[in-house]
Amino acid sequence: MSRRARGIIVLVIAVLGAVVLLLYSQSFQTCIYPNTHDYQGNPLQKEYWSVIHLWGWCFTGAIHEYAEVIAAIATIAIAWFTLSLRESTDKLWEAGERQIRAMRQSVFVGAQAAKAAKKQAAVAERSFTELETPFLYPVVIGQVIDDAFKYFERYDHPASPVTPVSPHAEVVIRNYGRTPALLRGETMWLEQRGDTFADPDFDFIFSEQPPDAVLEPGAQSSQPIKPQINPPIDKASHAKLKAEETYLFLRGTIWFADIFGGEWIQTFSLRWDYERRCFRPADAKYNQRKRNPSQHKKS
């Protein structure tokens, strides 16, 4: 049973008790008995409305006699109703605060969901861009390096005089991606050195820009590039290459743009495999595609 129900029951009992007290009070009995009985004590026959009027008049007199008790009961009833109203108001206030907190939480959750959706859209856009962007990489279509090294192997006697050679390679750039690429610039070179080197200076590489060329998916540049080693390879340098103390690298960078407006830098490093007589990709960290850090623009 709730607190409110118990309070109502107590109040009803108090009111009924007050009514019983008034009915059995001396003033009520003194008023009602002489007017409803004769001198021998027999009940008098009166009309219904007269009886009601008499009872009301006598009951009013009894109330005047016990006015303080009635006032106390009424005060208690008013206090109880006031307390119940306060509890209802407090509950309504708490419900309003809960609703405000729920609304704030909903707004916060909505904001977080919007941020998550925005982030997801950005990730999806970037993934799509990464997947659909072109991928440019060099292809060696010819070289005279093998013939030059055979020249040293033919005259490998220490006393045999051998003129230094400057072999070169013929390279084209091929688009292995799924969308067209705008070739903005490229540079490549042959060099003999150890197996580690620093990143190239992009500002120096692209200080002079060739005309733009469009490479469709699967297409390659029409004019081959012929990088040549400098300084030339002499007999001692060839001995180091053969002993794998140094290596011959075909290195370079390719600068291109995609159809989405992004600009990319493709670095590549191919190392000459002395046994297989061909160029093979070197360490992956020297063969990477990344966004152009300086966003070079054509002047």
Task: Provide the CA 197 distance to its chain's centre, in angstroms.
Answer: 38
Q: Which pLDDT tens digit goes with each residue over 236-269?
A: 888 888 888 899 999 999 989 888 888 889 999 9
Place of tokens 């004769």: 38
Determine what percent of the chain falls in helix, strand and coil, rounding each to the nearest 5.
Answer: 45, 25, 30
Task: Give the three-class secondary structure for 11.
Answer: helix
Strand 263-273 vs strand 213-215: parallel, antiparallel, or unpaired?
unpaired
Torsion angle in degrees (nearest 10) through CA of 257, 258, 261, 267 = -40
pTM of the model: 0.54
Asked if 188 and 221 count as a contact pair (C-beta separation under 8 A), the reply is no
Residue-wise pLDDT tens digits, 34-62: 655 544 455 555 555 566 666 666 767 66
Residues 159-214 pLDDT 10s: 667 788 888 899 999 999 888 999 988 888 998 887 666 655 544 444 444 556 89
- Structure-token match 């001396």, residue found: 26
Percent of the chain clearing pLDDT 90 (strictly above): 15
Q: Up-side HSE of residue 175: CA atoms within 13 Å toward CB?
A: 24
Helix 48-65 / helix 26-36 crossing angle, nearest 10 deg: 160
Cβ contact 179:258 at 8 Å: yes
